[in-house]
Structure 1
Amino acid sequence: MDIAGARRSLAGLLTTWGLTRLVLLLFVFKVWIFPGPDVTSDVSVIYQGWYDVLRTGTFPLGDVTWQYPPAASLTILSPALLPFLQYASAFFVLAFVADFAVLALLLYAGLRPGKSLRGAWVWVVGVPLLGPTVYARYDVMVTAVAVAALLAGARHPRVMGVLVGFGAMLKVWPVLLLLGVRKRGAWAWAAGTVGTIAVLFAVSMPGAFSFLTFQRNRGTEVESLGSLVFHVARQFGWNGQVLLNYGSVEFLGPWVNVVSSAALFLTGVAFGWLLLWRLMATRFLPGTLADAAFTGVLMFTATSRVISPQYMVWLVGTAAVCVCFRSSRMGLPAGLVLAACFVTVLEFPIWFAHVVASDLLGVSLLVLRNGLLVVAAVLAALELWQSTVSRDPVPPLPAQAARTRETSASS
């Protein structure tokens, strides 16, 4: 791309980011009211309540909604960095800063040789598709750590290991970023970071690992893939309930344990496939590390007992890193994730009442969103397998094929 064209593309990207993020801030600060339930109440009520407890030097021991690793307390306490703002306002500002940090990382990576700005565009477009929920949860902060880890992985495995370890102690899922790592140093530094943080919290704050019990007791959340069984069963007289349970709206009643166990089994199958892939993979391209992380996060999200809207931020972040690489073949799965983001904001918060009621609109939205995630996971897995395991030659991307023809013609 010529310099003038690159500048125009960069200007358009930054303008789009600025305008869309201004809209998100107007929504979370309630200058404009977003339709559906108030997504900011988690910050002003739940997070602030945890903040008050954490400041006393202990975790919220009796609160079953606290289901996070101990380092998550740092994100909950982070608004103290802006003491001149009220708690919720400070949190929204820090979420905005984390969003900008991801953009800056993707821009820096995208302007390097062998990379492109497609990843930055995925982030710029994907985040606002989820609506104000992104700024009202701490997942955007975790995603910023994960994106930094993935981008550091190829050249700085130790840095990646530290960031992955820290991210895993924020919300567990970043450990999946290690799936495509070949250098043991990254694994060692990740384990060392996890161990160090665990010891520090264990000896300094009571209840650091109470979240493990609370997570184990969760049921089937109404937006998950397994929930579709009960959404349909309600049409035929299933007599269970939909209640707020362990911090999310879940199905309670007959057969819920069976479906939850089936979800865990599917997650186990996904883990088994990823392990098989890791053992069979022989070709590691520059983008394989990111492709494997994206595929792993997709598979675990799609099979989870809980698919909260903020989980989609993880997928947008990892997809963005994938398509930063010009050689990445994850374009279609990344596009399906963006489509799933748009459907997600429709099912929560806009029409969440229809989801809870299990009516035609609510069920249709869930079938579409979860179906998109399942298809994206399958396609990502196939692309990962073909590019790293399959003995067949990997077909070149169209741009690569064109360059090859031009080279042959000139020689």
Structure 2
Amino acid sequence: MSRRSAIGIVAPWCAFLLVHVIVAVSGWLLPSQPMGDVVLVYEPWSTAALSGGPIVGVTETWVYPQLALVPMLVAKILSLPLIAAMGVSGAYLIAWAVMVTVLDAIAFVVLLGRSPSRPRRLAAWFWIAALLLLGPIAMYRIDAVTVPLAVIGGLWLTRRPALAAALLTVGAWIKIWPGALLLAALVAARSRMRMLLTAAAVTAGVIVLLLALGADSEILGFLTEQTGRGLQIEAVAATPFLWLAVAGSARIEYSYDILTFQIGAPGADAVSAVLTPVMVVLVVVITIVGAVKATRGASFSRLFPPLALSLVTALIVVNKVGSPQFQTWLIAPAVLWLVLDRARAGVPAVIVLALCALTCLVYPLNYDALLRAEILPVAMLTLRNVLLIVALVVGIRALTRVPAHRPSTNRE
């Protein structure tokens, strides 16, 4: 291995470790408790499950798919030696940060390998920059567990399609969004039947396990729990209402049922109610466009990246929830686009980095001011939400411009 090649591998790894330390520590230092969900929600859930109490998703309906409890339990188990040996305060937070870093490192190994190509090195640096710009929210949420699974699954789609489908399905049973990557793969890849059968088998296994543990109506609780949610203040559709709140014509209210801030204003509930059907329609339309391209012979490397980004972005733009950690969803499709089609990935990658930076400026840095409906954070959030729409348009535009190579049947 040449010196230049060695530096090309060592430098990203040094940056990877440094950024993970910075992001982990910043969760303790920045305002608005960016790691609050981990200790205030995840740890009590895992403690209850391990101590014979209620098991979320099994004995009671839960807002997350059931496999989301697994990494929470793993972090709890990892924290026990820290507590026993040193009585470390915040042991669960430390265990969570270590777990996420290890998962990211595994995906980083798959991404870089021993002799990474230039697109893979660029994708690695992009991922590092995205984590740094997004800040602690990129680590201290359950979504952080799904990003490395999505990256590995996406990288293995052509060489190990069954294993890739299994990883993406597991990811979807932790947080739904990796299912968008699986859907894009089923449309764009030739081994779609193998992937579909694998995804069905993994899903069947999860359901059988949940039934054996005593779950019944709770199995799909993560879908039914979303129906009663109001319009969260960070959602794209909430942007006009935030400006009404600045003018004193709308309210920002806290929901103790789902532990989030929502819009209280005439028309907000109606907007919230229509968003999910619109999301379904948009996802179907994007999928149909991708399917048409696939049937006309579009290559996987050109079709999958814009289709994946468009589907994931649609889940964010047309969503009644706008949690800041949703921006982590965009990292995986951008990484995969850089690997598969670097020449056309520049603009989407820059947009994702800008979205990460703007999201961090809003949460956690200016979140208290946002809750007071002050103009500056509302303006920053508005810019972030407009940029999300731009990302969706860029993705769909790239999707419609994917060349189709229909085999010729009329040769002279």
Q: What range describes the TM-score normalised by the shorter chain of this pair?
A: 0.7 to 0.9
Aligned partners of 2:306 and 2:396 also within 8 Å: no
Distance in 2 separating the partners of 1:63 and 1:250: 28
1:155 to 154, 159, 167: 159
Distance in 2 separating the partners of 1:215 and 1:334: 30
Aligned partners of 1:220 and 1:227 also within 8 Å: yes
2:32 to 24, 34, 37: 37
User: Structure 1 residues 10, 309: closer, same or farther in 2, change over 3 A?
Assistant: same
Specify the alignment match of 2:392 in structure 1: 377
Q: Which residue type is aligned with residue 277 of structure 1?
A: V
Q: Which residue type is aligned with residue 308 of structure 1?
A: S
Specify the alignment match of 2:70 in structure 1: 74
Distance in 1 separating the partners of 2:162 and 2:366: 44
Distance in 1 separating the partners of 2:171 and 2:123: 21
**What's the Cα RMSD here?**
2.5
Please report how far the alpha carbon of residue 326 of structure 1 lies from its aligned counterpart in structure 2 after TM superposition: 4.4
Identity in percent: 24
1:106 to 97, 106, 111: 111
Aligned partners of 2:246 and 2:375 also within 8 Å: no
5+ residue gaps, structure 1, are 392-411
The 5 A counterparts of 1:86-97 are 86-97=91-102
Specify the alignment match of 1:8 in structure 2: 7
Aligned partners of 2:242 and 2:250 also within 8 Å: no
Distance in 1 separating the partners of 2:170 and 2:203: 7
Q: Normalising by the residue count of structure 1, what TM-score does the alignment of the two structures yield?
A: 0.86
Specify the alignment match of 1:264 in structure 2: 276
Please report how far the alpha carbon of residue 240 of structure 1 lies from its aligned counterpart in structure 2 after TM superposition: 3.9
Secondary structure (helix, strand or coil) at the match of 1:170 reads: coil
Specify the alignment match of 2:138 in structure 1: 134
1:364 to 350, 368, 379: 379
Aligned partners of 1:267 and 1:303 also within 8 Å: yes
Please report how far the alpha carbon of residue 102 of structure 1 lies from its aligned counterpart in structure 2 after TM superposition: 2.6
User: Structure 1 residues 220, 372: closer, same or farther in 2, change over 3 A?
Assistant: same
Distance in 2 separating the partners of 1:17 and 1:130: 14
Secondary structure (helix, strand or coil) at the match of 1:222 reads: coil
Distance in 2 separating the partners of 1:115 and 1:362: 35
5+ residue gaps, structure 2, are 83-90, 407-412
Specify the alignment match of 2:43 in structure 1: 48
Distance in 1 separating the partners of 2:260 and 2:114: 37
* Residue deviations 1:234-286 (CA, integer Å, cap 9, x gap): 24442444213512211134211211134324413421321221331121243
User: Structure 1 residues 249, 386: closer, same or farther in 2, change over 3 A?
Assistant: same
Distance in 2 separating the partners of 1:205 and 1:58: 12
Please report how far the alpha carbon of residue 27 of structure 1 lies from its aligned counterpart in structure 2 after TM superposition: 2.5
The 5 A counterparts of 1:343-358 are 343-358=358-373
Aligned partners of 1:291 and 1:384 also within 8 Å: yes
User: Structure 1 residues 276, 211: closer, same or farther in 2, change over 3 A?
Assistant: closer
Aligned partners of 1:180 and 1:288 also within 8 Å: no
Q: Establish whether residue 209 from structure 1 lines up as the match of residue 220 from structure 2.
A: yes
Distance in 2 separating the partners of 1:235 and 1:81: 45
User: Structure 1 residues 352, 109: closer, same or farther in 2, change over 3 A?
Assistant: farther
Distance in 2 separating the partners of 1:360 and 1:339: 20
User: Structure 1 residues 328, 146: closer, same or farther in 2, change over 3 A?
Assistant: farther
Aligned partners of 2:290 and 2:303 also within 8 Å: no
Distance in 2 separating the partners of 1:227 and 1:389: 38
Distance in 1 separating the partners of 2:46 and 2:339: 37
1:219 to 219, 222, 230: 230
Please report how far the alpha carbon of residue 124 of structure 1 lies from its aligned counterpart in structure 2 after TM superposition: 0.8
Aligned partners of 1:177 and 1:290 also within 8 Å: no
Q: Establish whether residue 84 from structure 1 lines up as the match of residue 95 from structure 2.
A: no
Distance in 2 separating the partners of 1:67 and 1:23: 30
Please report how far the alpha carbon of residue 224 of structure 1 lies from its aligned counterpart in structure 2 after TM superposition: 0.9
Distance in 2 separating the partners of 1:254 and 1:138: 33
Specify the alignment match of 1:394 in structure 2: none
Distance in 1 separating the partners of 2:173 and 2:77: 21
Specify the alignment match of 2:320 in structure 1: 305
Distance in 2 separating the partners of 1:279 and 1:317: 21
Secondary structure (helix, strand or coil) at the match of 2:254 reads: strand
User: Structure 1 residues 291, 328: closer, same or farther in 2, change over 3 A?
Assistant: farther
Aligned partners of 1:110 and 1:119 also within 8 Å: no
2:55 to 59, 79, 89: 59
Secondary structure (helix, strand or coil) at the match of 1:249 reads: strand
Secondary structure (helix, strand or coil) at the match of 2:120 reads: coil
1:143 to 147, 162, 171: 147
User: Structure 1 residues 330, 295: closer, same or farther in 2, change over 3 A?
Assistant: farther
User: Structure 1 residues 54, 109: closer, same or farther in 2, change over 3 A?
Assistant: farther
Please report how far the alpha carbon of residue 203 of structure 1 lies from its aligned counterpart in structure 2 after TM superposition: 2.5
Aligned partners of 2:338 and 2:345 also within 8 Å: yes
Distance in 2 separating the partners of 1:336 and 1:81: 38
Please report how far the alpha carbon of residue 202 of structure 1 lies from its aligned counterpart in structure 2 after TM superposition: 2.5
Q: Which residue type is aligned with residue 9 of structure 1?
A: G
Secondary structure (helix, strand or coil) at the match of 1:319 reads: helix
2:203 to 158, 171, 194: 194
Please report how far the alpha carbon of residue 144 of structure 1 lies from its aligned counterpart in structure 2 after TM superposition: 1.2
Specify the alignment match of 1:244 in structure 2: 255
Q: Which residue type is aligned with residue 378 of structure 2?
A: V
Please report how far the alpha carbon of residue 338 of structure 1 lies from its aligned counterpart in structure 2 after TM superposition: 0.5
- The number of equivalent residue pairs is 385
